[in-house]
Amino acid sequence: MKSIITGTTGFLGSHLAMHLLSQGHQVVGMKRETSSLELFNSVKDHYLNGEIDALKLQFGAQPVSLNVEKLAENLEQNFQWVNADLLDTDSLFDVFNTPFDVIFHCAALVSFKRKDSDKMIENNVEGTANLVNVCLKTKQKNLVHISSVAALSRQEESDVISIDSDWVDSPYNTDYAKSKYFSELEAWRGKEEGLNVAVINPGIIMGIGAGNTAQQQFINIIQSGNPFVPAGSNGFIWVDDLCQLAIQTFDNQTFGKRILGVTHNLSYEHFFHTIADFLGKKRPSWLIQGFTYKTLYALTYLTDKLRIPFPISNDLVVSTSRKSHYVI
């Protein structure tokens, strides 16, 4: 199989490349010319060194083992970089004039800062639209689009969310959620125009990697001695499980549908406490609810509106207060 991954220097793209290569597949990694390889190299070293994500074990889940020998061999023989930008269609045409068995669309901007709203729409929605248009014009066949559970409906009267939930307007829909929902619509447009499209909606993606990954952010919060913990809950998945799900989606030709990528439904309280125990740190015990929630909401609303730097955004305060349970 010859695949191309958008966002290969990102967290999910880096891990997915290693999983594909360890199975003997040919991989083309798409990146911007100026992209840093720090995260990619950290993920590569993680697998080549046979390291295990000990935090995943703490949650009672087993890491996925890769064929390290085959990975090392195929990094040399079956992996190549190409430079292209999802916002530059000319560069996309240069790349996609070559036929691929499957395109894994992993590239996305993730932010909960109000100031990044327009940039997320541009990168996530316009970028996906450009990719779909180029795939159609170059006669590509198969697209696996990585969306997010943020693109699923959050109805105010129910905490239960299924893969078939229709999108509704809600105060719990962050700007990031809106960008992922509209990106997903672009992918489905591709299906209507002839592409084989599968959409995977993962929860919060955990796993090892250098930089500002979700896992590292949570670890930093606990290590800082932060006493607060959100009162809500969410769906989670480890990146190695998500990579296997993405590969199986293509292998099984599971096109034309959404696929939920959630392995754990966890309250933030349990989640934070488990990480604290793992790190040997004090458990945060101050739930953000009642007066604390109202105060934090007002403060972040003001700092967002005035563009004043603050550790968390109003969107994040609202979304993490929600108890979301995904039907696995």
Tens digit of each residue's pLDDT (9 = 90 or more) over 1-41: 999 999 999 999 999 999 999 999 999 999 999 999 999 99
Among 252, 244, 256, CA closest to 197: 256
What are the structural domains, with CATH classification, of the chain? 2-219+234-283 (3.40.50.720)
Tokens of residue 164, six digits: 């078939």
At residue 174 the predicted structure's pLDDT band, cuts being 50, 70 and 90, is confident
Note the pLDDT tens digit of each residue in 213-271: 999 999 999 999 999 999 999 999 999 999 999 999 999 999 999 999 999 999 999 99
The pLDDT-based confidence of 312 (bands split at 50, 70, 90) is confident
Side-chain half-sphere exposure of 253, counting CA atoms within 13 A: 2
Q: Quick one: angle between helices 11-22 and 68-77, nearest 10?
A: 100
Q: CA angle at residue 220 from 219 to 222, to 5 degrees? A: 65
Beta strands in the chain (DSSP E): 2-6, 26-31, 79-83, 102-105, 142-146, 160-161, 196-202, 204-206, 228-230, 233-238, 258-261, 264-267, 286-288, 325-326
Cα 189 from Cα 169, distance rounded (Å): 21
Region 134-156: mean pLDDT is: 92
Q: What integer is the mean pLDDT of 33-59?
A: 97
Residue 111 has a pLDDT of 87
Full DSSP string of 63-99: PPP--HHHHHHHHHHSEEEEE--TT-HHHHHHHHTS-
Given a cut of 80, whether residue 107 has pLDDT beyond it is yes
d(CA 108, CA 178): 13
Supply φ then ψ for residue 12, to 5 degrees. Answer: -65, -45
Q: What is the pTM of this model?
A: 0.96
The helix (run of H) or strand (run of E) holding residue 45 is helix 38-48
**Rounded to 5 degrees, what are φ and ψ at 85?**
-130, 130
Mean pLDDT of 196-201: 98
